[in-house]
Structure 1
Amino acid sequence: MPIKFNVIERGQPGVVGGGEKKFYASAKMEGDLTLEGLTNRIEKISTVSGADIRAVLYAMVDVMVDSLGDGKNVRLGDLGSLRVGISSVGEATAAEVKASSVKSSKVIFTPGKKIKEMLNNLIHVKA
């Protein structure tokens, strides 16, 4: 599978004025696969109706939000897994680490075996 990339220039993070600038490859994404598009593609390769597929996908989002909010990992088989990660301020002692030390939260996706294989087999093409 070929994936195109653009060349971008970036400075050094945290250095005033950007420091020494270098050039890097950056994946060029071409369009989106929306929930409607995903539903249509699944509908074509299965016997399940589009309405049923949409119902399951929307319910899946609700269940995942609740589960992640309860501190659970969400494992999606071959797709991969999701978990909550946090970033915090460093404190001098363990006793000083409190809820106010947390700066932000994010969802971390770990790809499953098939997605890892796809990433390992990508062909990179300059755009």
Structure 2
Amino acid sequence: MQSLYEIKKAGPRVVGRHVYGNLKGCRNVEALRDPSVLEDLLRKAGEEGNMTILDVKSWKIGEGVSAVAIVLESHITIHTWPEYRFATVDVYSCGAHTDPRRAFDYIVRALDPEEVTVGSVDRSLE
């Protein structure tokens, strides 16, 4: 008989995926300036990525905005510089049921940048 401590589950014990990027030449400049628009954008991106939104906050900093969505599975952040038509986006989620790339892509479509640089990291625990 096998002990419960000897039974290993297939796949990683913790599934963590991190998608981040720079959005250059954003055509939706007004969104980059508006905290309420960005808060709504983060909520919708979280829903798109099948994440559970717990809270969303934003702060006006100069011409830009920093906003964060705390999701049950981790976080989504955006920092904007409308004077340069530039934004940075960070989506990190834990759980195989989430799709951080889908959330990231939703934000990209809304801000309509001329150029996107994207990176991703697997932050799972095997």
Same fold (TM over 0.5): no
Q: TM-score, normalised by structure 2?
A: 0.20
Larger Rg: 1
Larger relative contact order (CA 8 Å, sep ≥ 6): 2
Q: TM-score, normalised by structure 1?
A: 0.20
Looking at secondary structure, tell me which structure has more strand per residue. 2
